[in-house]
Amino acid sequence: MQTSNILAGKTVLVTGGCSGIGQAIAVAAARHGAKAVIVSDTTDSPRDGGDPIAVRIEELGVPARFRYANVAKRRDNDVLVEAACEFDGVDVMVLNAGISLHADGPDVSEGDYRRLMSVNLDGMLLGAQAAACQMRRLRKAGSIVLMSSMAGIASGGKTVAYSTSKGGVILLAKALAGALGPDSIRVNSVAPGVIDTGILCATPAVAAVAEGFRHRTPLRRLGLPAEVGDAVAFLGSDLSSYISGITLCVDGGLLSVI
């Protein structure tokens, strides 16, 4: 069911879009009237089950495509963005793909650290570069949204590499906003708090920590993936036409009290 038409006429591309928050972002783009949605991931089968995301989007009456991409590779990003030419080029590029580590404390291994950074930070830059190149060529006033996290603003000792990458994403968005603004390309980041995804509920230890955060959150509940999707849709739309370089926290107020 369409919620609004704020993305009408826009082609939206979402990386890491087949599961969790990424899936919600892709569905939100369709609900808000996108002309077409292109979803990228390493597999089109959602980790939390259900139909492939392209099928779900097309059930909403919006053309959808799935494209495999390893966002840590420049060539994959370039090919992915070119896939949007079927729909007159990308208007909204949402760089959501990211990974976490099982062992991510102060003794994180060099190999794990570099693997995480190649996806969480390098992949953001490569994806933004590919999108900006096409937007410039097609003279589009585009929007690029980078997915950060509250862990990139307020961290802990168990997320050393992850928090470092997400903090870098925030500064990357600011730097790109300054660099691409003269081309009418806006760049922003979104920092979700604790979001109630299927993976979160399926992991008892993580769910226990999340419950503690819920009690500390001013709104006294966890966020919904769709709420992150709506925030991204806003930043991709013309309603945010004079907003660039910000970090939009979707955290129920949690960062204001910790």
Contacts (Cβ under 8 Å, ≥6 apart) of 240: 143, 186, 188, 234
Catalytic residue among 19, 166, 174, 240: 166
Strands in 11-15's sheet, in edge-to-edge order, are 64-68, 36-41, 11-15, 92-95, 143-147, 186-192, 247-250
Running DSSP on this structure, what letter comes out for residue 14? E
Catalytic residue among 10, 40, 162, 165: 162
Active site residue 113: no
Catalytic residue among 19, 143, 148, 149: 149
Rounded to an integer, what distance in angstroms lies between the CA atom of residue 5 and that of residue 255?
31
224 burial level (CB within 10 Å; 0-12, 13-18, 19+): middle
- Which amino acid would we find at residue 58? E
Active site residue 166: yes
Active site residue 174: no
Active site residues: 149, 162, 166
